[in-house]
Structure 1
Amino acid sequence: MKERAGIQSVEVGFGLLEALGEAAGPQMLRDLAAAAGMSAAKAHRYLVSFQRLQLVVQDPASTRYDLGPAALKLGLASLSRLDPVRLGRERAGALMERIGHTVALAVWGNHGPTIVHWEESPQAVTVNLRLGDVMPLLSSATGRCFAAYASKEAIAPLLREELARAQKQGRSDVPGTMAGVRAMLDEVRTRGAARVVDVLLPGIVGFCAPVFDADGHIALGIVALGPTGTFDPDWDGAVHGPLRLAAQQLSADLGWRG
């Protein structure tokens, strides 16, 4: 398809706004120009126009430039219209095809992590999971992911209940003490994802990677699961690597700057 004509100067000038957005703080003209790949004189002309539009402000004392109130207004308007589940649904199919295994999306519901979308691989084995199912915190990758990143107030009662139940049942495939739970959740945060092998479902491996919103709160979990015979269970392997990258990209698109 023929590329539509645009206004090149607008595209060039956007490089300055993009550089400001990626910078850790206000920038000097020379550094901003270098980051945008243009001369200081050229960058200055763009910045004068951006200041008039309040997209950029300049500190009179330091002469450094930063994003202005109009940029904030546009950013907040964009964030208010973002729907994490919709964006996740749009990308789940491509991720499923890339890793060759079933992909699901989960959000925090009234009773815990809840499956809200299911993208089943043609080679998938039958698992007894459905849309609307609430996942356990200790024995599922989804639950462990949310337990690691959700607010302590939200997960504490559910964790205590599950831990007591696991202790009563004498389970050895989940932590048996609160210290063990904390160690498990620390590993989830270190790895950037949760993993279970033969825990919730026999013969099934599952990963869940967190997606964060602009405030750093977990917005949803992206889940991948498949049979132990064909599913790569390794950290940074054929499943975990692409899954974590997809979660990081979706987080960035939601405004997360972690």
Structure 2
Amino acid sequence: MEMEKKGIKSIEVGFSIVKAVSRSDEPLTITELSKICNMPKSQIYRYLVSLCRIGFLKKGSDLRYALGDELISIGIRAMENVDIHIKAQPFIKQLNKTLDETIALAIWIENEGPIFISWEESSKLIKINVRVGSIVPLTTSATGNIFAAFYPETKTKDLIDRELSKNQMNQKQLEETLSTIKKEGYAYTQSYLPGITAISAPIFGPNKELVAALTVIGLSGVIDISENSIYTKELLKTAKEISRELGY
């Protein structure tokens, strides 16, 4: 038991470096990683060499580090084994075909928050790409609002408090928003990303627990967020169908 508690520190450190790279929107230099991970360059360099050697990271010609092909391959295989991903995919494709807008599926990752695991882009000239593996905020995104409203408070509270403090947001206003979401059964936002509108709906499992959020993403002025719009109706209908498929 005591040996199990100790673990292998170097693996944990290496994973923290990989995590820092995965959270960044662009490749990072060794200097940037040194600051993020609070490690001396000489120490982090040795980890970077090994992580690149096994394919978990890759070093570009500009000396910046990004996720490696081997890690991406492992991630894809892991997502293929996620039950919700497999069962929801036919419904996501059909919703994408019906609305011709980008459709994304997000699940909860412990201590991280909502993360996109699947998406289908529209066929329109102006496309909105969703980065699989990206984490979305609980307080300012439609997808995050679904988890903030329906996921257990014991899981979301710390992350919500952190976001409220960081962004100097009003807690009472958030509570009112979440209360409306619970009443109406869906969330929307037109301010998380300029020019982008998103509508999100909950997907529940057999024990009435929230297991995922299904989101329609498109250009502002095109997507109608009202309760009786085709976007909202088709989204809610699909979310219910997936929930039934999961045993809800």
TM range (shorter): 0.5 to 0.7
Matched residue, 2:155: 154
Q: 3-state SS of the aligned residue for 1:239? A: helix
Contact 2:102 2:128 survives alignment (8 Å): no
What is the identity, as a one-letter code, of the residue corresponding to 1:212? F
The normalised TM-score by structure 2 is: 0.64
The Cα shift of 1:212 comes to 0.2
CA distance, structure 2, for counterparts of residue 84 and residue 128 of structure 1:
21
Q: 1:251 Cα shift?
A: 1.0
Matched residue, 1:200: 192
Match of 1:255 in 2: 247
Aligned residue runs from structure 1 range 1-258, under 5 A: 83-110=83-110, 111-123=112-124, 125-127=126-128, 129-167=130-168, 176-197=169-190, 199-256=191-248
Report the equivalent of 2:53: none
Cα deviation, 1:183-224, whole Å, max 9, x if unaligned, reads: 111111111111001x11111110110000000111111110
Q: Distance in 1 between matches of 2:125 and 2:208?
A: 33
Q: Check whether the contact 2:181–2:187 (CA below 8 A) recurs between aligned residues.
A: yes
CA displacement at 1:242 relative to structure 2: 0.4
Instruction: Give the structure-1-normalised TM-score.
Output: 0.62
Given that 2:87 and 2:245 are in contact with CA atoms closer than 8 Å, whether structure 1 keeps it comes out as no
Q: Distance in 2 between matches of 1:124 and 1:109?
A: 33
- Following superposition, the deviation at residue 235 of structure 1 comes to 1.8
Alpha-carbon contact 1:103-1:119 (below 8 Å) kept = yes
Largest Rg, 1 or 2 = 1
Q: Is the 8 A contact 1:85 1:220 kept in 2?
A: no
Question: Unaligned 5+ residue runs, structure 2?
Answer: 1-80
Cα RMSD of the aligned pairs, angstroms, is 1.7
Identity level (%): 28
Displacement of 1:159: 0.4
* DSSP 3-state at the match of 2:174: helix
Distance in 2, Cα, partners of 1:83 & 1:116: 12
Give the secondary-structure state (helix, strand or coil) at the position aligned to 2:224. Answer: coil
CA contact (8 A) 1:139 1:200 kept: yes
Query: Cα distance, 1:124 vs. partner?
Result: 6.1
